[in-house]
């Protein structure tokens, strides 16, 4: 009964190594003697790049990603508006007033605005990116994570995004609703941590 899987980056250790993609995809598409998928191959997967993919051509060659430049996209499934955002710009660019970051942020603002106005029909908004904006783990204070938080969290607040998935720290955390003015997530008692 799973409608889709969100894959929030770092799918393989190095996105430029095609043999890693081949190994991963062979396992996903493994079939039994009758041709039925044994694992995840029968389910729609929507990925977004992480830092391990490093914007490598092999990532884009192995996935059909909707949206502009395959770096951001949105779609509705049932009662939920899903948004996929490649936040790699946070590592590559600190000035968010210039493309490509400014282009992505303008698109995200417009998309979340439309989704927020459509809540009577599609009441939930879920965003998937790579960097954990409020992680308490290894990357919590990295410059690119803080830059992504400064650029993305205000938009998530502005449009009351219901849920955000990230993958950068390779571990599991959850929290109550956090807001853009949260400055030190390691001191927030609403975050529940679990090893990764």
DSSP string, 35-87: S-BSSSTTS-EEE---TTTTT-HHHHHH----SBTTTEEEEEETTEEEEEE-T
- Note the pTM of the prediction, 2 decimals: 0.87
Torsions phi, psi of 153, nearest 5? -60, -40
Residue 12: the pLDDT is: 94
- Most trustworthy range by pLDDT among 39-53, 82-96, 167-181: 39-53
> What is the predicted pLDDT for the residue at 131?
92
Quote the CA–CA distance of 146 and 185 in Å, as a whole number.
Answer: 11
- pLDDT average, residue stretch 128-142: 88
What's the whole-number mean pLDDT along residues 114-118? 98
Q: CB burial class (10 A; 0-12, 13-18, 19+) of residue 79?
A: exposed
Residues in the chain: 196
Mean pLDDT of 36-64: 86
pLDDT at 196 exceeding the cut of 70: no
Question: What is the percentage of the chain residues whose pLDDT exceeds 90?
Answer: 40
Cβ pair 13, 24 in contact under 8 A: no
Predicted pLDDT at 113:
98
Dist CA 107 CA 117 (whole Å): 15
Confidence of residue 92 (pLDDT cuts 50, 70, 90): low
Task: Please say if the pLDDT value at position 156 is more than 90.
Answer: yes
What is the model's pLDDT at position 109?
A: 97
Checking if the pLDDT of 81 tops 80, the result is: yes
Tell me what pLDDT residue 75 has: 93
């Amino acid at each position: 009964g799973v409608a889709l899987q969100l894959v929030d980056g770092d799918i393989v250790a190095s996105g430029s190594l095609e043999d890693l993609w081949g190994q991963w995809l062979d396992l996903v598409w493994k079939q039994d003697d009758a041709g039925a998928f044994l694992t995840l191959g029968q389910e729609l997967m929507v990925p977004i790049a992480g830092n391990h993919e490093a914007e490598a051509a092999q990532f884009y060659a192995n996935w059909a990603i909707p949206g502009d430049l395959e770096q951001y996209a949105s779609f509705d499934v049932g009662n939920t508006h899903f948004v996929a955002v490649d936040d790699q710009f946070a590592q590559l660019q600190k000035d968010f007033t210039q493309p490509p970051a400014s282009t992505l942020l303008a698109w995200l603002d417009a998309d979340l605005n439309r989704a927020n106005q459509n809540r009577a029909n599609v009441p939930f908004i879920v965003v998937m990116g790579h960097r954990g904006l409020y992680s308490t783990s290894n990357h919590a204070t990295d410059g690119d994570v803080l830059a992504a938080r400064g650029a993305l969290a205000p938009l998530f607040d502005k449009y009351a995004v219901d849920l955000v998935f990230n993958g950068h720290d390779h571990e599991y955390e959850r929290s109550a609703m956090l807001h853009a003015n949260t400055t030190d997530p390691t001191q927030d008692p609403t975050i529940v941590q679990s090893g990764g």
